[in-house]
Amino acid sequence: MRIDIVTIFPAFFDVLDVSLIGKAREKGLLDLRVHDLRDATTDRHRTVDDTPYGGGAGMVMKPEPWGATLDAILGDDAVLVVPTPSGEVFRQSLARELAQEKQLVFACGRYEGIDQRVIDHYAARGRVRLVSIGDYVLNGGEVASMAMIEAITRLIPGFMGNPESLVEESHEDGLLEYPIYTKPAIWRDLEVPPVLLSGNHGAVAAWRKEQSLERTRERRPDLLAD
Ligand SMILES: N#Cc1ccccc1Cn1ccc2ccc(-c3cc(N)[nH]n3)cc21
């Protein structure tokens, strides 16, 4: 998979050189490129924003630098992902869907957002997804893109050392994951549930399923509503 990130803060993504994403890049599983939007500006001040038509507070990102940058990097079957507070909510199902794509391009806006004509132009020529990571307002698209990139890339075959660990995670089966424990068997007078020490795999599986259901009922009843 190829992932392109367009941002005015390219250094924000230096962290993607480490951890599993860094290893996936070394293994050739992931071709990740970060682009500085200001490199597509043509004025001395490398201007990327201007005042909004119709008035109002804040600044709007100019369309020209976006057009020049996206024209240069968008492949024919790329998906342009635009983080925004006013998008569809990012869930595990969308992470799984986007993990199947050949190229994702993340457009990280700042200020009050990107001139609408950029979205309209590329939506008329290809696939654009406007995506929110939750009902709260960030200062830009970088944090949202980082969260989505981590959720997506960990689903790429060969990315995680132990693919089994992906199966029983929260949200993979529509439920929250069960409680987990490791040694020691007793810690500060707190014991590990005896079933987990029983060696009875069937009983362990049944207990874990019940725990997932109970946890989901308590914390996220919305996930159980049809
Ligand atoms: N747009 C906008 C906007 C609108 C009003 C006030 C502040 C902003 C800041 N902003 C600029 C770019 C941008 C990108 C994504 C988010 C974002 C995503 C989620 N889930 N929350 N916030 C915010 C972003």
Q: What ligand 1 atom has the least distance to the C-alpha of 132?
A: 20
The reply to whether ligand 1 has any atom less than 6 angstroms from the CB of 144 is yes
Q: What ligand 1 atom has the least distance to the C-alpha of 90?
A: 20
Residues 186 and 189: their CA atoms lie apart, in Å, by: 6
Compute the distance from residue 130 Cα to the ligand 1 centre, in Å. Answer: 11
Compute the distance from residue 103 Cα to the ligand 1 centre, in Å. Answer: 23
pLDDT exceeds cutoff 90 at 1: yes
Element containing residue 96 per DSSP (H, E): helix 92-98
Query: What is the three-class DSSP state of 27?
Result: helix
pLDDT exceeds cutoff 80 at 99: yes
Strand intervals (E) in 31-145? 31-36, 49-50, 60-61, 79-89, 103-107, 127-132
Place 165 in a pLDDT band, splitting at 50, 70 and 90: low
pLDDT digits (tens, 9 = 90+) for 65-84: 999 999 999 999 999 999 99
Query: Considering only CA atoms, which residue is closest to atom 7 of ligand 1?
Result: 112
Question: How far, CA to CA in Å, does 174 sit from each of 151, 170, 180, 194, 225?
Answer: 16, 7, 18, 27, 11
pLDDT at 58: 98
The two three-digit tokens of residue 200, written as one number: 């009875």
The reply to whether ligand 1 has any atom less than 6 angstroms from the CB of 65 is no
Decide which of 17 and 183 is more confident: 183
11-15, 27-31, 60-64, 113-117: segment of lowest average pLDDT: 27-31
Compute the distance from residue 21 Cα to the ligand 1 centre, in Å. Answer: 25
CA-based angle 184:185:191, to the nearest 5? Answer: 125
Compute the distance from residue 202 Cα to the ligand 1 centre, in Å. Answer: 47
pLDDT exceeds cutoff 80 at 200: yes
pLDDT at 59: 98
pLDDT at 51: 98
Question: How far, CA to CA in Å, does 5 sit from each of 16, 34, 48, 134, 135?
Answer: 11, 5, 16, 20, 23
Q: What is the mean pLDDT of the chain?
A: 94
Decide which of 214 and 157 is more confident: 214
Q: Is the dihedral of CA 162, 166, 170, 175 positive or negative?
A: negative
pLDDT digits (tens, 9 = 90+) for 13-52: 999 988 877 888 888 899 999 999 999 999 999 999 999 9
The reply to whether ligand 1 has any atom less than 6 angstroms from the CB of 106 is no
- The answer to whether 171 and 92 are in contact (CB under 8 A) is yes
Residues 51 and 58: their CA atoms lie apart, in Å, by: 7
Mean pLDDT of all residues in 138-156: 96
pLDDT at 158: 81
The reply to whether ligand 1 has any atom less than 6 angstroms from the CB of 139 is yes
pLDDT at 19: 80
The two three-digit tokens of residue 60, written as one number: 């709007």
pLDDT at 163: 63
- The answer to whether 78 and 88 are in contact (CB under 8 A) is no
Place 127 in a pLDDT band, splitting at 50, 70 and 90: very high
The two three-digit tokens of residue 114, written as one number: 């990107």
Query: What is the three-class DSSP state of 22?
Result: helix
Compute the distance from residue 138 Cα to the ligand 1 centre, in Å. Answer: 5
Place 159 in a pLDDT band, splitting at 50, 70 and 90: confident
137 is in an annotated binding site: yes
The reply to whether ligand 1 has any atom less than 6 angstroms from the CB of 191 is no
pLDDT exceeds cutoff 70 at 197: yes
Mean pLDDT of all residues in 113-142: 98
Compute the distance from residue 141 Cα to the ligand 1 centre, in Å. Answer: 6
Q: Which ipTM was obtained for this model?
A: 0.97
